[in-house]
Amino acid sequence: MVFELRNKAWTLMSKKEQVPAFQDMKEKIKSAIERSSRQVAEWFRDAVLDRPKLQNLKMLKAKAKRRWNWPKGGSPSGSAIPTYYAEWSFAAYFW
């Protein structure tokens, strides 16, 4: 409803009245874009990288190795009897 009224009012305006109104809208849009891009730049500038990719890769490999070398009981906490798999493991072979 509001959009229709604004649209009708815009079409009833003369060309001379439309140009400054259009310029004002254009400037408002431009300033909003600048403001949002400035905010995004600040977010990236303030962002702290958690861990580099190489460190993540090493951690994933170590995690896979630990997972394959769990005790036979399947408990990583060590509550099961500590009988480990053979020294060769799937993770060690493929990593």
pLDDT in tens, 48-74: 666 566 667 777 788 888 776 665 555
Q: What is the pTM of this model?
A: 0.29
Among 94, 84, 87, residue whose Cα is nearest residue 60? 94
pLDDT at 81: 47
Distance CA 87, CA 95 (A): 14
DSSP H stretches of helix in 1-95: 2-12, 15-46, 53-68, 90-94
Q: What is the mean pLDDT of the chain?
A: 66
Whether residues 42 and 58 fall in one domain? no
Task: Give pLDDT, residue 95.
Answer: 52
**Alpha carbon distance 36, 7 (integer Å):** 27
Residue range of the domain that includes 57: 53-94
Q: Tell whether 60 and 79 lie within a shared domain.
A: yes
Residues in the chain: 95
**Is 28 in the same domain as 58?**
no
CA atoms within 13 A on the CB side of 55: 4
6 and 42 share a domain?
A: yes
Same domain, 8 and 42: yes
Rounded CA gap, 72 and 83, in Å?
6
pLDDT > 90 in the chain, percent: 0
